[in-house]
Amino acid sequence: MGVPSFYKWLVGKYPNIVVPAREVDVAGATPPSPGEAGPNGVYHNLYLDMNGIIHPCFHPEDQVCLPTTFDEVFEAMFEYMDRLVRIVRPTKLLYLAVDGVAPRAKMNQQRSRRFKAAKDAKETEMEENLLRDKFRNEGKEVRPRQTHELSDPNVIIPGTEFMEKLSIALVYYIRSRLNRDPSWKDIKVILSDSNVPGEGEHKIMSFIRAQRSRENYDPNTRRCLYGLDADLIMLALASHELHFSILREDVLRQNQPEICIPLAKELFNTEESSTKCRGWFAGVTEAAPRGRSPKKPYQFLNIWVLRDYLELDLKIPNPVVKTDIERLIDDFIFICFLTGNDFIPHIPSVEIHESAIDLLMEVYKQTFNKMGGYIVNMEKLKDKHAAYLKVSRLEKFFQELSSCEDKNFLKRYELRESLQRKLLRQAAEKEWNEKNFDNMEENPDGPDLTIKSFSAQCRISTSSADKSDITANTLELRQNLKDTLRNKQDLMKSGACEHDTIRLGKDGWKSRFYREKFGVERFNEVGKLKNEMVQKYLEGLCWILQYYFADVPSWSWYYPFYYAPFASDFKGLSQFRISFTMDKPLRPFDQLMAVLPQERPRDRYPRKTFLVARYCKVAIH
């Protein structure tokens, strides 16, 4: 996942770093010759972070019908990878990396995400049961709830039967393409499956660093990395490779196709309706030929262009030390850690939705000379006592950042209050409208675009009225459920469902924060807690630096608090001693036990005897 909303901010600020990917996909066209440059130029190596392929194929958003079996997911993945290879056309290497066992710092995030998903699923089921009872009382028949192989997304984790079958499927895919596709003839293919510990993107970067350390390394190697995580951009910058591009879906382009009326009627009237579909067709559970919407466009994010932008934006006026673009980029990566990632929470006053990175860059430029130079020195990365991080300079940076803290909190508090009033007003208006709906006049001439009217149109044209009624009722139920959950989510986001007892930005907010969140009030207890939080957060920053620029410094380290310290709490940093002890990763079975919620369907997971860790790297060439 990486830094939340980082990609959106980056493309909005530097739009020229991305270019649309060109595709040549003509039926019956002659396949490209081995080594031939593709429509997007020459790329020697293509790296696929399989996490960005597995999830879109497991629960796609652009299909009319969703897959229901593992085989359908694998088939979609094969098509997905074929398309990526056609776009990039690597001439030397294709590297496929599947997520293995993650460090514990990442497991905590995985655990919280899965537990939240289980809680949301339980609440969704309760709401759906209420709606089903309501429809039953109204005499509306709906389709029963059905389950299938893909009902539980938690199977996408090392140690499960799905991941084992995925490894076998990927080996089959590679061998099939090497034997049958001429464009794969001279390509070396490496598969690092889920049995190899480590996150996919970090396994890729470790491989690149290993390649660079060889004597025969070619510095002009052109690399392309596919993935959806925003931290891939950080990792590419951290590699200091010039010829590096990130390939990803153009998620910001608003060109999602709408389902046309004839297609909708056809789906309603046929007995082979969708199995489990998005939007209006969600939950319709009859087998159907799987259809897809038009393919989403792709785009290349060129790291060399981003480097040029950062060199301009981070230009220091009258610097006290010689300007080095590589060290400026290292510092940029470091300060972006403060906006939060998969391993540590963000500094409370730093929200990326509030232009936090722009603020951090401005503070960095203003304090650079006061700090005396760069914050990190990655040439000392192997130092056991974290000499690569200049804590005295970092402390000055936090002092400057803390001057904006009260103002940011007060602005956020006022926006929150305004949003609460707006949502409560809208809720009151909606309640009034529902009470007085029977007295409102309907417009017989105007277009009626409600789901009921749409369903009615479909019932008129159907040859099987009963089945059409059931389908239409099911769609109405799903839409009602979707609206109910969205309204609840809006209220939760605004805080309208709970009273804000901390009131960040108001006098005394810090003491209220530690009292409400940690249950401490005494001055000495608060001071002790602050020091512990600051030390652990500082450890986290050093841990991430090593993880991004070298390797995992410790598999067992994790940040033990739900919240980050305030910028004004970072004082006396030189008193802290930071070191890590290298240990071994957990086994897949241990990770399953650590991150999966109790509510999971246990029959979907293999027995312990199945989970024999065979840490290996499969290489086929």
Write down the domain spans for the chain: 326-409+504-575
pLDDT at 110 over 80: yes
Q: Which residue has the higher pLDDT, 384 or 323?
A: 323
pLDDT at residue 288, as a whole number: 39
Q: What is the mean pLDDT of the chain?
A: 81
DSSP-based three-state secondary structure for 192: strand
Structure tokens at 290: 């799987």
Q: Are 49 and 225 in contact (CB under 8 A)?
A: yes
pLDDT of 4 reads 64
- Per cent of the chain over pLDDT 70 is 78
Q: How far is residue 281's CA from residue 121's CA, in Å, rounded to a whole number?
A: 19
Evaluate if residue 161 carries a pLDDT over 50.
Answer: yes
Confidence of residue 314 (pLDDT cuts 50, 70, 90): very high
Checking if the pLDDT of 267 tops 60, the result is no
Other C-beta atoms closer than 10 Å to the C-beta of 323 total 13
The predicted structure's pLDDT at residue 472 = 85
Rg (CA), the chain: 27
Q: Which pLDDT tens digit goes with each residue over 9-34?
A: 999 999 999 999 998 764 444 555 55
Separation between Cα atoms, residue 363 and residue 98, nearest integer Å? 38
Instruction: Give 431's contacts (C-beta < 8 A, 6+ positions apart).
Output: none
Cα–Cα distance measured from residue 490 to residue 420, given in angstroms and rounded to the nearest whole number: 10
What is the amino acid identity at position 380?
A: K
Strands 43-49 and 223-226: parallel
pTM for the full predicted model: 0.82
Question: Which structure tokens are listed for 560?
Answer: 């033990």
* Residues 478-529: tens digit of each pLDDT: 888 888 887 776 655 555 555 678 888 788 888 899 999 999 888 889 999 9
Say how far apart CA 32 and CA 82 lie, in whole Å: 13
Q: What is the mean pLDDT of residues 244-248?
A: 96
Burial 140-171 (b: 16+ CB within 10 A, else e): bebbeeeeebbebebbbbbbbbbbbebbebbe
Q: How far apart are the first and last CA of the chain?
A: 31
Residue 132, exposed/middle/buried by CB under 10 A (0-12, 13-18, 19+)? middle
The amino acid at 324: D
